Amino acid sequence: MSYPSRIEKLIDLFSKFPGVGPKTASRFVFYLLRKQDSQIDEFLEAVVDLKKSVSLCKFCRNPFEPNTNQLLCSICSNPLRDKTLLCLVEKETDLMLLEKTNKYPGLYFILGSLLTPLKKKETEKIVISNLLKRLKEPLNFGIKADFKEVIIAISDTTEGQATALYLERELAPLKLKISRLGRGLPLGAEIEYADEETLSSALEGRK
């Protein structure tokens, strides 16, 4: 026995959402089935509205709601931001987390995903190409900048490390300063569960 085809179809689409498996997806569908028509309409409208009213910033690719003819988000168009710093992040929520620290004065660029250079996918080349264009000719994207440092602010996982190495190699010809987030003990961490590399970095970075 399986669910009716329209239910299966929507379970299938929800299963592609990040972190959603078939079980969760089916709960979403039954949730929608129990909703009244007006609530479904509200949901559909919100999705339509999202695509209609939200654009990606021409420079950093962060989503924003543009006024007429506005191409840059509020960060990229802010004259007070430090135009010598570019921070590379994997995704929108990472950018938001860094903004919330109130410690970063520069600009961002959203990679869209971690890069897996071994697979030599077309996507990787496009991302690198997009990044290089922004670093070399920011004016083409409406930004008067003079980048001196690129901060690779991505996760310190195996895949993140491979991405960082790949980025460092591709950016090397530009002769910019390239930095990575500092490694150390996170807030709340116990020495006992720290690995050697983290402890080494925490020792060296003591202050």
Q: Which of residues 66-95 bind a second copy (CB under 8 A)?
A: 89-94
From the CB of 139, what's the least distance to a second copy, in Å? 26
In terms of CB distance, is 69 or 139 closer to a second copy? 69
> How many angstroms separate the Cα of 45 from the Cα of each of 14, 39, 49, 64?
18, 10, 6, 18
By the rule CB under 8 A, 13 interacts with a second copy? yes
d(CA 17, CA 35): 20
| 86 and 107 Cβ atoms separated by less than 8 Å | yes
By the rule CB under 8 A, 146 interacts with a second copy? no
Q: Which residues are 149's β-sheet partners?
A: 85, 177
Site stretch for a second copy (CB under 8 A), options 120-128, 129-137, 168-176, 196-204: 196-204
In terms of CB distance, is 146 or 190 closer to a second copy? 190
d(CA 134, CA 87): 12
Q: Which of 59, 64, 108, 109 binds a second copy (CB under 8 A)?
A: 64
From the CB of 188, what's the least distance to a second copy, in Å? 6
Q: Enter the tokens of residue 137.
A: 């000719």
Q: Which of 38, 51, 80, 144 binds a second copy (CB under 8 A)?
A: 51
By the rule CB under 8 A, 174 interacts with a second copy? no
